[in-house]
Amino acid sequence: MDDRMVHSFVVDEEQEGERIDSFLGDRVPELSRSRVQKEIRAGGVLANGAVIAKSSHRVREGDRISLSFAPPRPPAVEPEDIPLAIVYEDSYVVVVDKAAGMVVHPAPGHARGTLVNALLHHCGDLSGIGGVLRPGIVHRLDAGTTGLLVAAKNDEAHISLSRQLMERSVSRIYRALVWGSMPAPEGVVDRPVGRSPRDRRKMAVVAGGKPAVTSYSVLDTRNPFQYIVLKLGTGRTHQIRVHLSHEGHPVLGDPEYGGRRAQKAALRKEELDLANRALALIDRQALHAAKLAFTHPRSGERMRFASNPPADMAAVLDLLGLAAGEPDR
């Protein structure tokens, strides 16, 4: 059976004169431009019913362009016997305290060793709604972020948890060490987040990005750092890290958003020495998902879980003389 995907477009006045590979690359984002060019060479692109043989072909207003291609088939994810810190488990959900460095699901460069590989070995099966590469995954944590995450073991649970996330009834509270002093003891960062125009591998606060809301409160201070608690109002990729970096208070140790070098030039010698000692203790962002709460998909019971910071972050807190404390409930 032919399972090729077909996309069809009509060229409008503004698109007149574009190269056909550029025209299609902008409209079929799941394909790279080189993949579009490959499909053109293979005869998979038509203009007004005629095969287009050259990527340099210029489209004209009113042209009917079609592209057919075979969707990529992701490899099956293999179960792997990887240790997991299971906080709670039943036949519907599994709550994990994720370790630092563990990627949540397979992606380019991370085909093995992910949380999904570990869960498939532990559980035997997960919900299929997330697709071949993301079974059971309803929300994520960055590889360098530790803490609590819930996965769905069947489709009923996945649908329920996804709905709760959309309705913002899943509570996710984080703790972080940040550079400098926040502008107030409590506050809200409400800034849109999208792909960085300078580096597509990163996110940034950008006009036209998706709405993103993060609230915070300061727990304690030891210059040049503050220990803060954060609550997600939305769940954008890298949201907390991007918001804090944009506000000038990146997460200590964050290798992507300025957390390993922020404000060093302005520090007094004793503060600089302390900052360097702190950085030597942690090679990731000092960000921990400390609290998770959701409504159980079957029983309707409100489930609440808490997790203390892991050893590396706890060592930094100890160095700074800051009490980790029990996560808020």
Which residues touch 282 (CB under 8 Å, ≥6 apart)? 252, 253, 312, 313, 315, 316
Q: Is 142 a catalytic residue?
A: yes
User: Cα(317)–Cα(129) distance, rounded to whole angstroms?
Assistant: 39
d(CA 163, CA 198): 33
Q: Which of 21, 63, 97, 142 is catalytic?
A: 142
Cβ–Cβ < 8 Å for 177, 252: yes
Quote the CA–CA distance of 154 and 195 in Å, as a whole number.
Answer: 32
172: enclosing H helix or E strand: strand 171-179
Other CB atoms within a 10 A radius of the CB of residue 267 amount to 17
Question: What's the CA dihedral at 19, 23, 26, 29 to 10 degrees?
Answer: -110
Residues labelled as active-site residues? 142
